[in-house]
Amino acid sequence: MAGDGPAITKLLSCKIAFVLSYGDTINIPEQDYIARQLEISVSPFIDEDMKCKVVIALLDIIRRDEYIDFEKKESFQNYLGFEKQQLLQQSDFVFCDFLAKILLYTICGNVNNKVGAQYAKTITADYINAIARPYLYEYKWNSATHTVTLLYIKIFLIFNNAMINNQIDNFICKIDPTNMMNFSWVETCEIFLNDTKKNIWAPFAWGTLGWTLQKIQEFAQTLDDYTHYLGLNMRPIAEHPDILVPIFRDEQPQSAMQFSNSVGDYRHQLISIYTELYEHMPFFKPA
């Protein structure tokens, strides 16, 4: 291929298919060899910031490729080492290794190269920059290890694990303070907020905050405001001091209605912020 300019042009424009067989011989290059060649001949000519953007753009293309969900599922996993959704949840990519795996899948995975003809011309520097723009300040390049780290994925997964471990989703969606609530939920929310301070803010909140960190900060502040509001507007019952009920109930229906509306607003805000965070991730699957 190196000496066949017209063939390369046709391959890049998706006018011909990749052919690796010559007679009875199938020449499939080793992944390490391809990665090494990319490292020598390609990587030095790509700006470090653009390497991060290339990985983000490739993940977006993979996210949109429905063939990988069905017909090419096993082939994709064979060459990439992960199923599609598993790959989209990775946050660290050795640049040339990742490119080598994708190249092998493309040329050896029985992929019809001509299918992409209508999209080939749209994969430009402008396209790559546009896809990466929402993730400004949310990725970094390690020149020592040649690794792209997508901080937005890493941070979200830490945040989401803390949500699951502390059952914050249950607290927001299923616990109704307008009826009653166990005081332990206030303590649980405090533990969750401390977890995010320790595992997210301490290691990642340096320099300009990216969108994901800003949204997590908004979520944490809203949750803190919510629990503080509940503390001011609920009281323990005499028989069970660990159970809280609204201060105003049947005796003051207007105040009770205001409390109910405020609780609903807080819960809606928290669900909305979390939804925005989830939809910012490459593994989000639109309905």
Contact criterion met (CB below 8 Å) for 145 and 216? no
d(CA 189, CA 198): 14
Query: Is residue 161 very low, low, confident or very high in pLDDT (cuts 50, 70, 90)?
Result: very high
Average pLDDT of the chain?
90
Instruction: Order the strands of the 92-94 sheet from edge to edge.
Output: 92-94, 147-150, 139-142
Q: What are 221-254's pLDDT values in tens digits?
A: 999 999 999 999 999 998 899 999 999 776 788 8
Tokens standing for residue 79: 């060459």
Tokens standing for residue 78: 């064979």
Kind plus residue range of the DSSP H or E element containing 243: strand 243-246
- pLDDT score of 23: 47
- Sign of the Cα pseudo-torsion (134, 68, 51, 127, in order): negative
Contact criterion met (CB below 8 Å) for 217 and 159? no
Residue 137, pLDDT > 50, answer yes
Return the domain boundaries, the chain: 5-135, 152-279
CA-based nearest residue to 149, from 214, 201, 210, 61: 210
Q: What are 145-155's pLDDT values in tens digits?
A: 999 999 999 99
